[in-house]
Amino acid sequence: MPSPELLARLAELSDLNHAGQILAWDQQVMMPPAGGAARGQALGTIESLAHDRLIAPQLGVLLDAEDFDDPVVRTVRRDHDVARRVPGELAAEMARAGSDGFEVWLRAREANDFKVFEPALRRNIELARRYADCFADVEHPYDALLDRFEPGTTAAQVAALFMRLRGGLVPLLAEIAQQPEPPPLSGNFPTSAQRDVGLQIVRAMGFDDDAWRLDDAVHPFAASPSPSDVRVTSRFEDGSLLGMFALMHEVGHGLYERNVDPALARTTLDTGVSLGVHESQSRLWENLVGRSEPFWTFWLAPLREQMPDTLGDVGLDAFLRAINVVRPTLIRVEADELTYCLHVILRFELELALIEGTLDPGDLPEAWAAKTQELLGIDVPDDLRGVLQDVHWSEGAIGYFPTYAIGNVLAAQLWRALRADLPGLDDELRAGRYGDLRDWLVEKIHRHGRRLPPPQLIEQAVGGPLDPTAMLEHLDAKYRALYGIG
């Protein structure tokens, strides 16, 4: 048990993070537009106060006096050591460049012109390399960047993982592309009906009004200032059902935060351990539950009741085919379950080359187009639908993208493991019940918070390291069946 002095410092740090989460959530969901400038400054101050506290030498002295085997001590020690490796000036410069870069990115998008964005990207790449230089002991500079989002995973591991994914996904996609496309659902999906059924679904998943909120946001996200206060956002559109899957995705994130062991409250360990593990939770609910036959065996009827004009004549099989269309497309966030990882691989390979210096930022649009052709077999018509589509690099988040694919891979591994433990799961899903599934995830993942390093958590949950086999086999079986490929 850490000393009261250490716990008091961690509580203060947690409270600053809590304030930062609320300021950021409010900015996206509630704040009137004119409040933006002052909010940016306030958020910067809160983050900088938290950073100061994390790198405080007194924190190091307190940690030195503690039992290193205590998970709180070990985790905070690592946070402290990593943060101290980065000079304050560089950290501040990265924050400024990220904020500036975001504004430039918005302008470049308006102009649909990568050239506008290029200098800001160049600066972010340069700063990312200087950041990596602070960690001379890593095998590859990219490792230091990735570690910010996925502690314990290296560029070499990601490259190996992605090689396997490429090898499995590209030929499968080519086979599917030769099949006729299933008929799409036609008609309107009224947003009020989507919200209504969506809320029924997420309440069954574990959302409740005592500890959760649901609001609208342009880009759906989840936030949790504390495990007892979880906020998800959604965006429904009349033209498609995607908003319902996005809602399940965010509630998947939220369930992770909600179910961290209360004993970790205000230790800074009371949150998800990495972006990849977090994404495994959202993707599991969105795709492995939410795009499955057992799930819709229960939910299609209530949805059809609310949309009789659109779904009145649609049977379960046709519905499942329509919500599981596989098609190479240009935009990552609209990609299907199968092609999604190819978008991630594309970004990983490009940012790796940018960091290694083998690709100049000025040549990025051409490289983007070539990779899109190589991985997805389609042309990129302009920058907006190419290199300018994602916000991440503009804010300096280089090393972030692989976590999306790690999440997909881990979700399939968890799915395989939990199905072995829960033989009656499909029957539960067909009855609209998620208690056993949720309990399993809480037991294996959620309750641990940041207590275990991600590789150890994964090993413990699925009996081995990150491995794409389960995902490739799942996709192969699912889409061969749906598309009637032998």
Applying CB under 8 A, among 1, 35, 126, 456 the residue interacting with a copy of itself is 35
Of 278-307, which residues contact a copy of itself (CB under 8 A)?
none
Applying CB under 8 A, among 1, 30, 316, 331 the residue interacting with a copy of itself is 30
For residue 228, the minimal CB distance to a copy of itself (Å) is: 4
Using the rule CB under 8 A, give the single segment among 22-30, 273-281, 347-355, 425-433 that binds a copy of itself.
22-30
CA distance 79 to 71: 12
Active site residues: 250
Instruction: Specify the residue for token string 């036609």.
Output: 186
Mask for 204-243, x = binds a copy of itself (CB under 8 A) = -----xxxxx-----------xxxxxx-------------
In angstroms, what CA-CA distances link 136 with 112, 133, 154?
38, 6, 14
Mask for 165-204, x = binds a copy of itself (CB under 8 A) = ----------------------------------------
The strand pairing partners of 229, in sequence order, are: 226
Comparison of 103 and 139: residue with beta carbon closer to a copy of itself: 103
CA distance 30 to 335: 29
For residue 300, the minimal CB distance to a copy of itself (Å) is: 30
CA 431 distance to own-chain centroid: 29
CB 158 within 8 A of CB 145: no
Interface size with a copy of itself, residues (CB under 8 A): 38
Is residue 32 a contact point for a copy of itself (CB under 8 A)? yes
CA distance 234 to 29: 10
CA distance 155 to 143: 5
Helix (H, G, I), strand (E, B) or coil at 214: strand
Neighbours of 458 (CB within 10 A): 29
Comparison of 23 and 275: residue with beta carbon closer to a copy of itself: 23
Is residue 92 a contact point for a copy of itself (CB under 8 A)? no
For residue 256, the minimal CB distance to a copy of itself (Å) is: 17
Comparison of 69 and 210: residue with beta carbon closer to a copy of itself: 210
DSSP state of 41: H
For residue 10, the minimal CB distance to a copy of itself (Å) is: 11
Structure tokens at 165: 């994914």
Helix (H) or strand (E) holding 52: helix 36-55
Structure tokens at 357: 């210096």
Applying CB under 8 A, among 7, 11, 138, 170 the residue interacting with a copy of itself is 11
Structure tokens at 52: 């100061």
Is residue 99 a contact point for a copy of itself (CB under 8 A)? no
Applying CB under 8 A, among 18, 96, 392, 447 the residue interacting with a copy of itself is 18
Is residue 260 a contact point for a copy of itself (CB under 8 A)? no
Comparison of 52 and 237: residue with beta carbon closer to a copy of itself: 52
CA distance 6 to 72: 10
Using the rule CB under 8 A, give the single segment among 34-42, 127-135, 364-372, 455-463 that binds a copy of itself.
34-42
Is residue 261 a contact point for a copy of itself (CB under 8 A)? no
Is residue 58 a contact point for a copy of itself (CB under 8 A)? no
Q: Give the sheet arrangement for strand 212-216, strand by strand.
A: 212-216, 229-234, 222-226
CA distance 57 to 69: 21
CA 434 distance to own-chain centroid: 22
Applying CB under 8 A, the residues found at the interface with a copy of itself are 11-12, 14-16, 18-19, 22-23, 26, 30-35, 37-39, 41-42, 44-46, 49, 209-213, 225-230, 265-266
